[in-house]
Amino acid sequence: MNENHWPALPGVREALVNSLADVNLTGDALAAGLERRLAADLGTTPDRVVAGAGSGALLQQFLTAHCAPGTSVVHAWPSFDLYPLLIRNAGAEPVAVPGEQQDFRAVAAAVTDDTRVVLVCNPNNPTGEVLGEEWLRSLLAALPQHVLVLVDEAYREFADQAEIADATTLSADPRLAVVRTFSKSHGLIGLRVGYLVGAQEVVGPLRRVAPFHRVPTVAQAAALAALDAGARMREQCRAVAAERDRVRAGLRELGYDVPPSGGNYLWVRLGPRNQEFIAHLAEHGIAVREVAGGVRVSTGVPEANDAVLTAARAFSGRPVEGAVR
Ligand code: PMP
């Protein structure tokens, strides 16, 4: 899984333990304190930030608030494999735009009068593709005014920060919203915390479909502590990215087809041999899965990454017939 294998960020454990003393109290049911802190960090106002139980929940709230039956939501493919499900759950129709490298013109061309939202995953899961600011600006310029763009930045911290767009800085355009999570970079997947930033009129409707207790109080405490450890978080993400690049280089040396990735995972393309590769890794105690026509290999601790390379070496000795090169 695309998880963070580092121990908790400094201060998180203490914050969790301290918050346990107050679990019998309502506390900040609306997570307003966390929203204020996030807004301050982002240089924006709290009415433009909504906290929620992870980015998956916020994606669902966004789609539910802004889509209705008969509308459509456009997204690239391959991309996060939950998008079609989340879109259908909101009563809308998913429209997938094929292409391993996302083309803003093709995305814009798939938009119709019925389209309400374009979902952009950056870095993309599972391909790892990183989109820069120019790409996002071009997409916005090519889209009609009635379409919202939601950029899913779940893996943003693992990418080269000079290369990847920071969609929160493009928020002068009210059509653009951004969703982020504490699940990956901050290592809090089990606590369920994320946030969505956008124009007040885009964020406001999400509050109406949000559960009253937005984020558990213990999770709020952990998230605030994790924000205080921002420098360490970025350092850890850089270390994860270095491991990811090490594994990619090793796999490519062995002849595997692996595009560059800005996430904490790699997408290995073996064509018709994907399942065989997955079964082979399983024999070595490594669990990976096929996503959108490739094998997604998450970055683990160095020993686990070494195990992937060892298993891949044994596999590449066999003929790789029909692999996409
Ligand atoms: N977006 C993307 C692209 C993801 O890969 C995931 C998790 N796999 C999520 C959102 C949801 O993460 P969470 O709900 O834990 O924030």
224 and 281 in a single domain? The answer is no
- Which of these three, 228, 243, 275, is where a domain ends? 228
* Phi, psi values for residue 198, rounded to 5°: -175, -175
CA distance 124 to 135: 13
Q: Give yes or no for residue 127 CB within 6 A of ligand 1.
A: no
- Which of these three, 228, 257, 288, is where a domain ends? 228
SS3 assignment for the chain = CCCCCCCCCCCHHHHHHHHHCCCCCCCCCCCHHHHHHHHHHHCCCHHHEEEECCHHHHHHHHHHHHCCCCCEEEEEECCCCCHHHHHHHCCCEEEEEECCCCCHHHHHHCCCCCEEEEEEECCCCCCCCCCCHHHHHHHHHHCCCCCEEEEECCCHHHCCCCCCCCHHHHCCCCCEEEEEECCCCCCCHHHCCEEEECCHHHHHHHHHCCCCCCCCHHHHHHHHHHHHCHHHHHHHHHHHHHHHHHHHHHHHHCCCECCCCCCCEEEEECHHHHHHHHHHHHHCCCCCEEECCEEEEECCCHHHHHHHHHHHHHHHCCCCCCCCC
141 and 211 in a single domain? The answer is yes
**Which residue CA neighbors atom 2 of ligand 1 most closely?**
154
**Which residue CA neighbors atom 11 of ligand 1 most closely?**
56
Q: Give yes or no for residue 191 CB within 6 A of ligand 1.
A: no
Q: Give yes or no for residue 183 CB within 6 A of ligand 1.
A: yes
Vertex 227: Cα angle to 222 and 232 (nearest 5): 105
Residue ranges making up the domain that contains 161: 12-228
Ligand 1 atom closest to residue 194's alpha carbon, by position in its atom list: 16
27 and 129 in a single domain? The answer is yes
**Ligand 1 centroid – CA 191 distance (Å):** 13
* Residue 95 in domain: yes
| Tokens at 186, concatenated | 């901050």
143 and 285 in a single domain? The answer is no
Edge-to-edge, what's the strand order for the sheet holding 289-291? 265-268, 294-298, 289-291
* Residue 295 in domain: yes
b/e per residue 285-294 (b: at least 16 CB within 10 A): ebebebbbbb
Q: Give yes or no for residue 71 CB within 6 A of ligand 1.
A: no
**Ligand 1 centroid – CA 154 distance (Å):** 6
211 and 312 in a single domain? The answer is no
pLDDT of 322: 47
* Residue 286 in domain: yes
What residue type is assigned to position 100 of the chain?
E
119 and 27 in a single domain? The answer is yes
167 and 198 in a single domain? The answer is yes
145 and 264 in a single domain? The answer is no
* Residue 273 in domain: yes
- Domain containing residue 71: CATH number: 3.40.640.10
Ligand 1 atom closest to residue 183's alpha carbon, by position in its atom list: 15
Q: Give yes or no for residue 125 CB within 6 A of ligand 1.
A: yes
CB atoms within 10 A of CB 44: 15
- Domain containing residue 284: CATH number: 3.90.1150.10
293 and 174 in a single domain? The answer is no
Q: Give yes or no for residue 189 CB within 6 A of ligand 1.
A: yes
**Which residue CA neighbors atom 1 of ligand 1 most closely?**
154
* Residue 75 in domain: yes
CB atoms within 10 A of CB 91: 13
CA distance 133 to 136: 5
Ligand 1 atom closest to residue 181's alpha carbon, by position in its atom list: 16
Q: Give yes or no for residue 28 CB within 6 A of ligand 1.
A: no
CA distance 163 to 262: 9
* Residue 280 in domain: yes
**Which residue CA neighbors atom 8 of ligand 1 most closely?**
2
Dihedral of CA atoms 312, 314, 318, 321 in degrees, nearest 10, equals 0
Cβ-contact 117, 86 below 8 angstroms:
no
* Residue 7 in domain: no
How many domains is the chain partitioned into structurally? 2
- Which of these three, 173, 198, 228, is where a domain ends? 228
83 and 147 in a single domain? The answer is yes
280 and 217 in a single domain? The answer is no
199 and 248 in a single domain? The answer is no
CA distance 317 to 286: 18
Q: Give yes or no for residue 62 CB within 6 A of ligand 1.
A: no
Q: For the whole prediction, is pTM greater than 0.85?
A: yes
Cβ-contact 76, 107 below 8 angstroms:
yes
* Residue 6 in domain: no
**Ligand 1 centroid – CA 180 distance (Å):** 9
Full pLDDT tens readout for the chain, 325 residues: 899 999 999 999 999 999 999 999 999 999 999 999 999 999 999 999 999 999 999 999 999 999 999 999 999 999 999 999 999 999 999 999 999 999 999 999 999 999 999 999 999 999 999 999 999 999 999 999 999 999 999 999 999 999 999 999 987 899 999 999 999 999 999 999 999 999 999 999 999 889 889 999 999 999 999 999 999 999 999 999 999 999 999 999 999 999 999 999 999 999 999 999 999 999 999 999 999 889 999 999 999 999 999 999 999 765 454 454 4
pLDDT of 292: 84
